[in-house]
Structure 1
């Protein structure tokens, strides 16, 4: 009996200790070396989309402390080397990384056709498509525009940068360093795609400015993809103002219309959940139409209705979103595990850097 009691106490101790460790967080550490296995000192390491940054010491070593369980994208930037990114899952133990940087040899050469006004045009297009055409995007200032390299190919405008692009968002009060990996804009289709990693820093300001920033940050957060994924995680989608519907292929007889076909019964996420632990959950990956409309969401009454297929228009803050595979996972920060496989069109697809807030952002309660 004593042995059984001791064993139960040991199990309880291990469980409590593991839970306490998870609440305190774990370390992400590692060593950065070049292709000759020599340490790369002074490299900048940061967690993409956050305010967390450090640098490698003389031995190429670095450490982030108190990282809570979740999904993270760790990025490394060093002049003369290709940018490096790695997805990391922190669950119940620290992460120890061994990173090898490759020398950057094939740099994108700047190609400007015609007079200098061509580059001015390229820059205007780049700023609008990269920072955004919203009020927040227009309030952003690119402090080092000369760092952007442009090239063109038929209807495509392409860009990259050898150093961090530095942006001041005067509406949200963030200074952003962005490691641009690729950018292209198709003038024929007015479509843009870019990739990179952002590091956020609080801008200094007066109390009045901080109050303005707080208001604007909340406006940017409300209805965003991160807001939605956090609401999914807490199973408060309707409460947070989101109307979510399962979408279906367009009927053959309606092939030429511009409607999206849905089940008009709002999705109940608790029927899709598989809770992994307190930091992660998985849910069935189904194609969705998401609308942010708090007033309409507050009117929804839970009642049993039969399935019907309904064609609707994409109005207001509406987004079509689909996930890779049969199941997908998110963490409590609202970070999606396989975000690169997501397909997003509509409101969220038009969101740009100027409307982003860091992972650390929490709305006032």
Structure 2
């Protein structure tokens, strides 16, 4: 075991310091004209550039493996390409002109158009930024005028489109995020969100004397996150980083699910009827007894019983030396419990406490819980920076609630502040 850990440490250190050079050219698909001023970036990183007068670009990538290259311009259709960063081949990328897809949607859905930012902007921002108020309140959309809202009264669904990439400034983490949103749909009846986007990060200037604060906020966003977990899986140090794995089986609170659906339906109807974003239960339901009962039920746990068995990472993760990745795979649902250890001196807001019942009796399980399962077989291949390209892992719980306001670029490395 010690030999394995030593090898993995040396293996990780070697590829963590690796850098690769990616080169390419962008042309118009029809005219073959070389295109200048095209944005080129690695998705969800600070690594990006624009094409020169000959349509050429060069990117220095500080990690190996698969990366998602985004090629974007307002008058051309965005292209996302999964490539091998280690490839020595010069890329030739052909772009198609925009076909005014958004305008077609506007015409077809004009009867559902409800283009009122004062009405829908609050809800959209809350869903997009996440539930942590400390981070979410520090994020501001700089170009809200680009948003177009549609509400379908028949399906009780809100759809949002952006005519150009959103520019979001996160003041506490000192990032400007360019978010190119492909679709956003929120179903009030089921409380299900569908959203696809690519992001590019830029460092914002940090005021003198505020460097320590910014490091602390980034540190807090990183620890316990999906990025932190995947990197810990890759490095085989889950326990040291504060993660514990459990095979997971639950008995859900059916009454809370029923009441939650009623409330979500009422929220959708309220938003559609007026501009008042207030959806407190006492406002939504005029009958006091009904509002009181719903409030009582919504305070209950989502789960009335929970059966867990602790599992070892050794059974779930296999090192692939040839591909420089770790294969991570499991059956059923996996619960990841995160508890900041003595070395992690960050403040994490919010805590989930559930009753855990297993063959050894009942115990309290304090910490931040996340749940994962695969929607199809095959697992994922984790790279040294925690990134994986497969789209088959479904995540809910704490990690999924950390949305744009707590998002860090994949090339981020924690620099622990002296707290």
1:101 corresponds, among 95, 103, 111, to 95
- Confirm or deny: 8 A CA contact 1:272 1:284 kept in the other structure: yes
Q: Corresponding residue for 1:127? A: 125
Deviates more, 1:355-364 or 1:27-36: 27-36
Question: How many aligned positions are there?
Answer: 331
Summarize the alignment of residues 35-114 of structure 1 with structure 2, pairs less than 5 Å apart: 35-36=29-30, 37-91=32-86, 93-105=87-99, 106-107=101-102, 108-109=105-106
1:34 corresponds, among 14, 28, 32, to 28
Shift of 1:354: 0.4
Shift of 1:308: 5.0
* Distance in 1 between residues matched to 2:148 and 2:48, nearest whole Å: 25
Give a deviation string over 1:57-96, Cα, whole Å, max 9, x none. 23322221244212311111111222211122334x4353
Shift of 1:231: 0.6
* Distance in 2 between residues matched to 1:45 and 1:353, nearest whole Å: 21
**What is the CA RMSD across the aligned residues, in angstroms?**
3.2
Q: Corresponding residue for 2:197? A: 196
Cα 1:335–1:201 change in 2 (3 A) is same
* Distance in 2 between residues matched to 1:221 and 1:81, nearest whole Å: 34
Shift of 1:157: 1.3
Give a deviation string over 1:229-271, Cα, whole Å, max 9, x none. 01111111111111211235879xxxx9935755422x22123
- Confirm or deny: 8 A CA contact 1:111 1:152 kept in the other structure: no
- Give the number of the structure with larger relative contact order, counting CA–CA contacts within 8 Å between residues 6 or more apart: 2
Shift of 1:98: 2.7
SS in 1 for 2:117: helix
SS in 2 for 1:41: coil
* Distance in 1 between residues matched to 2:117 and 2:24, nearest whole Å: 41
Shift of 1:291: 1.4
- Confirm or deny: 8 A CA contact 1:285 1:328 kept in the other structure: no
SS in 1 for 2:240: coil
* Distance in 1 between residues matched to 2:26 and 2:216, nearest whole Å: 40
Deviates more, 1:205-214 or 1:275-284: 275-284
Give a deviation string over 1:10-65, Cα, whole Å, max 9, x none. xxxxxxxxx98995422222222223033322110111111011111233222212
Cα 1:24–1:329 change in 2 (3 A) is closer
Cα 1:95–1:364 change in 2 (3 A) is same
Cα 1:293–1:21 change in 2 (3 A) is closer
Cα 1:205–1:26 change in 2 (3 A) is closer
- Confirm or deny: 8 A CA contact 1:238 1:297 kept in the other structure: no
Q: Corresponding residue for 1:151? A: 150
1:292 corresponds, among 334, 338, 353, to 338
Q: Corresponding residue for 1:273? A: 317
Shift of 1:130: 1.1
- Confirm or deny: 8 A CA contact 1:183 1:193 kept in the other structure: yes
* Distance in 2 between residues matched to 1:112 and 1:314, nearest whole Å: 50
- Structure 2-normalised TM-score? 0.70
Q: Corresponding residue for 1:225? A: 226
Mark the runs of 5 or more structure 1 residues left unpaired by the alignment: 1-18, 299-306
Mark the runs of 5 or more structure 2 residues left unpaired by the alignment: 1-12, 258-301, 345-357
